[in-house]
Amino acid sequence: MRTASRTAELVALYRAIESSRSAATRLFVDPLAPAFLGPRFRWALRAYRIPAIGAAVPWSIIDGHWSGPRGTVAVRTRYIDDVLGAALRRGVEQVVILGAGFDCRAYRIPDIARTRVFEVDHPATQAKKKAVIVRRLSAIPPHVTFVPADFTTDSLEGVMPRSGYRRDAVTFYICEGVTHYLSLEAVDTIFRHVVQNARAGSQIVFTYIHRGLIDGSVSFAGGDDTLSTVRRVGEPYTFGFDPAELSQHLSALGLDLIEDVGASEYRKRFLEPRGRAGELLADFQRAAVAQSRSSACPPAR
């Protein structure tokens, strides 16, 4: 990949749209998201901000006929924000964002500057992100370290030690919008890294696709259109978990499943209280939190 991820820009658009909602209805504010948008998506954001125009825009042109993408990105972003916030309040020492894309949590989450944040992603996407951050903030904040890596060829054990990462620290990992582009082996390698290279009690929050969408064993509204869209843009889904098997799978790797949520829980927790219960979400997209119960790392001194 020689250019920044196309889906990373689309996710930035969805976060910018959510941030443009009224204070009473929005789930979060990401002030940097609009800075990552190209001309087409900047036009879409401007159109959305004008009620009379935004209501008339055929959003399938922007969404690419995905099933519930904007709503799903919004609720999963808020979910991960909340889980990260709780980890920071517990005193987590490091945050590692895998496949960081245009994720701006390192710059907008309260008190995150008190910890070290490592953003791991492909150099092409990082190049654009660095340019935007420097343009908007004047410099990369000192608590943030960019770690260039290609998950298909580079190992975390190879790239993280050179970045200043501490194996003896309680660490919180974010793996949002990543697992469904990898293989089972690559996903398990990430989970093993958490267990073997962070202090016991470290956690990972990750999103995943229901395996039934990929193998065709479960029918989801809009599922076929979604698969066609991601194949067309050159970023096809390659992997998913069966939610019924997730806890056992993680346990075998040394992780305890803390929570596994999907569209119904997102709707109850975030949308219904804001009068948005009817918003479309993708039923095949889920998020989970797991915690390591053992570690090969020495205790912190």
- Contact between 78 and 27 under an 8 Å Cβ cutoff? The reply is yes
Q: Which of 50, 7, 53, 10 is nearest to 33 (CA)?
A: 10
- 232 alpha-carbon distance from chain centroid: 21
Global model pTM greater than 0.75: yes
Distances (CA, A) of 155 to 98, 186, 190, 230, 297: 12, 9, 9, 25, 18
Rounded Cα gap, residues 150 and 154, in angstroms: 5
Residue with tokens 């903030």: 137
DSSP-derived 3-state class of residue 260: strand
What domains sit in the chain, N to C, each tagged with a CATH number? 65-292 (3.40.50.150)
Please give the chain's pLDDT, 301 residues, in tens: 456 677 888 899 999 999 999 999 999 999 999 999 999 888 888 887 877 555 555 555 555 545 568 899 999 999 999 999 999 999 999 999 999 999 999 999 999 999 999 999 999 999 999 999 999 999 999 999 999 998 778 889 889 999 999 999 999 999 999 999 999 999 999 999 999 999 999 999 999 999 999 999 999 988 888 888 788 878 889 999 999 999 999 999 999 999 999 999 999 999 999 999 998 899 999 999 999 986 544 433 3
CA atoms within a 13 Å half-sphere pointing along the CA-CB vector of 103:
29
Rounded Cα gap, residues 12 and 36, in angstroms: 7
Rounded Cα gap, residues 248 and 255, in angstroms: 9
- Contact between 239 and 179 under an 8 Å Cβ cutoff? The reply is yes
